[in-house]
Chains A and B, each alone.
Chain A
Amino acid sequence: MFGQILINGLVLSGGYALVAVGLTLTFGVMRMVNFAEGQSVMIGAFIAYTTVPYFGYVGAIAAAMAVNAVLGVILERTAFRPFRGVELNGLIASMGMSIVLVNVAELVWGTTPRPFETIYNETSVNFGTVGISVQRLICVAASAAILLGLWWLVQYTSLGRKFRAVSEDHETASAMGIDVNQVSRLALVIGSMMAASAGALSGPVNMIAPDMGRTEMLNAFAAIILGGFGNVNGTILGALLIGMIQSIGAVYISNAYSSSISFGLLVLTLVFFPRGLVPERVDENV
């Protein structure tokens, strides 16, 4: 049974990590929290669901990421740039955008949850007495690949250096010739694309509906806080811990309170490590 628990934990962790890292990226660069990230997951899932008959599954993931890139631009212009320096207003604006996105999804796709089937759902690999769909294994592998790609982008590319510079001090970065608005927009675009990938990858595992994304968002926040706000490596570690604890706790303790177990642990961790497991070191942040 441990193999299933491990895979299940990794599937959960992968989804949480994609959302959490997108949030961390946006927060690190803009010092503002994108409360519409969970709804970006939902939009990504629906776009992939809609386009999969035309482009196949891989093409549908790409289409979802492309549409969410545009969504990221819209979010940056409407909910973030006008409120730079007034974080509370930005927070409320992004919450407002999250409601708008849910309503748009209800209008376009209706309120009845839909099955998002791929050919990988139908094929299962047996681990002991329980099967695991190839879709779940794809979730784990693709999440790892995307997170690795983001890490490489932040660490080794010119854009990554700009992210880190703006994160450290946006005024100095601006004085050095970095277009802070452009960097912020790209942070939101990448964050939004990661949310799309999370939706497109995890959508086929469950039903997709306009109200999805909230659980991912909540757990992503837990992962961010657990890992140390603003730190990509810490966030990934936090997501891994939350996903694994939920998976193990559901089997060995109780599934009735799976969220309470992970959030209880979060509170305990913060009592002993108030700045998270990987305390913020600005030079390592995005």
Chain B
Amino acid sequence: MKSHLAAIAGALLLAAPSIAFAQAGSKGSVKVGVLLPLTGNTAWAGKTNRIAAAIAAEEVNAQDLAGGYKIELVVGDSQCEPRAAHDQAERLISQEKVQLLIGEWCSSASVAVAQVANDEKVPLLINISTADQIAGDSGPYAFQSSMQNRYSQEREAALLQKDFKFESVAIIVENNDFGLTFRKNMVALMQKAGKKVVLDVTQDRNDTNWYATITRIPASKPDLVIVSISAVQAANFVKQYAEAGITTPLFSDYPPPPRIFERQVGAQAGKIGLVRAAFFVKSDTNTPAQKEFVAKLEGRVQKELNEAHDVTYWDVATYDAVRLVADAIKRGGPQAAGYLKAMAVTKIDLVLGHYEFDEQRGSRPEGLNFVFIRTKPDGSIEVVE
């Protein structure tokens, strides 16, 4: 009898993965639209983000993490541009018949997508854009799982006051939703701390010529320069800052992707001693889940794109977004009403950290990772704190 029971138990154990596999999809498929920049100046990130999303969907389907539903991803190239993002969101909803949306990358584009999501009553998870209150201002169908600027800037301002000696600052940002909310928050935080803002400049997002802006820095004599500029433009800025020979300490918001940025302008950033924020840095201190994700994604990128890749925050945030969507489907089903209710009470630990949402459908910042890094003169990275 005992041997029979053991045999049955053994057979059940062996069959468990296939039973789980069979369950995923037993309630049908859910089409999830993912808006990513696959062309344009942020395509460098969108291509690996897509792979991260695909890995998450495969895991969800293999391990039945969406409560019997199979997730089917449909990707739209939203180019980090509001108009393209708006059009792609419309296409995914009307032609591809997606039931749920994830994206976009740039804040201004996410604002446009949120408008479509609310008009069409399709739930949206904004997973990367960090401008404040995108979900809160756009209506009940949008959630924002990325840490909003106001939270990250509070941490940045605290670090600046702790580690830098300064009385005056220059604040330089891009002229878009992302940069402008950073500027608003940082100016308020600096003034609250009694610091003087001696230069406050916004620059067109597509204008690669930062030199004109940089020439204004010595004349205004700030003790510290604070920038919030998207990844590629940040590389142009640092290159031109170093070229101009400006020695004023430079602090950057989180956009420059660790290591990728160092490969581009590590020498210049090291010469300046650039300090910046980061939501995720591949390092020995990563959690086991983070190490596992890094290994999976880097191997897959090597295989699919034939290139070495250093995992970025944006990859992690995209992977986590698919898992968050699956978790909400599992608890509330894919229909908008149940899904939104389930998403609102999310409590889950994923690769980046612990996710919960506040009343405005923005993520609570307490559980999410946030570090500060410095580029050393040899172009390598050290974690400041």
Contact = CB atoms under 8 A, between A and B. Distances in A.
**Do A and B truly interact?**
yes
Interface of A: 1, 4-5, 8, 11-12, 102, 106, 110-115, 121, 124, 126, 128-133, 136, 205-207, 209-211, 214-215, 246-247, 250-251, 254-259
Contact of B219 (A1, A131, A215): A1
B302 interface: no
Nearest to B306: A110
Contact of B201 (A131, A205, A255): A255
Given A8-B209, A205-B239, A206-B208, 19 more contacts: A5-B212, A5-B215, A112-B260, A114-B264, A115-B235, A121-B239, A130-B246, A131-B244, A206-B239, A206-B240, A207-B208, A207-B264, A211-B41, A215-B207, A246-B212, A250-B209, A254-B202, A256-B201, A258-B203
12 contacts: A1-B216, A8-B215, A11-B211, A112-B44, A113-B235, A115-B263, A124-B245, A130-B218, A136-B243, A209-B232, A215-B208, A251-B212
Contacts of A121: 239, 243
Interface of B: 39-41, 43-44, 47, 175, 201-204, 206-209, 211-216, 218-219, 232, 235-236, 239-240, 243-246, 260, 263-265, 305, 307
A85 to B, nearest CB: 33
A110 B263 CA distance: 14
Given A255-B201, A255-B204, A4 B236 contact: no
Most A CB contacts (10 A, CB to CB) among B40, B211, B236, B240 go to B211
Contacts of A1: 215-216, 219
**Ordered nearest first, which 5 A-B pairs have the shortest CB separation?**
A250-B212, A131-B245, A129-B218, A112-B44, A256-B202
A114 B263 CA distance: 8
A114 B305 CA distance: 17
A119 B163 CA distance: 35
A84 to B, nearest CB: 31
- The A contact surface, by secondary structure, is mixed
A259 B232 contact: no
B212 A255 contact: yes
A259 B208 CA distance: 12
Contacts, number: 115
A5 B43 CA distance: 32
Contacts of A111: 43-44, 47
Nearest to A251: B212
A110 B302 CA distance: 13
A8 B212 CA distance: 7
A221 to B, nearest CB: 15
A113 B44 contact: yes
B211 A4 contact: yes
B356 to A, nearest CB: 34
A211 B205 CA distance: 14
Given A8-B215, A207-B235, A130 B244 contact: yes
Q: Which of B43, B213, B240, B264 has the most CB of A within 10 A?
A: B43
A5 to B, nearest CB: 7
B204 A256 contact: yes
A106 B44 CA distance: 10
Nearest to B37: A111
Given A113-B44, A255-B204, A256-B203, A124 B244 contact: yes
B232 A207 contact: yes
Contacts of B43: 106, 111, 210-211
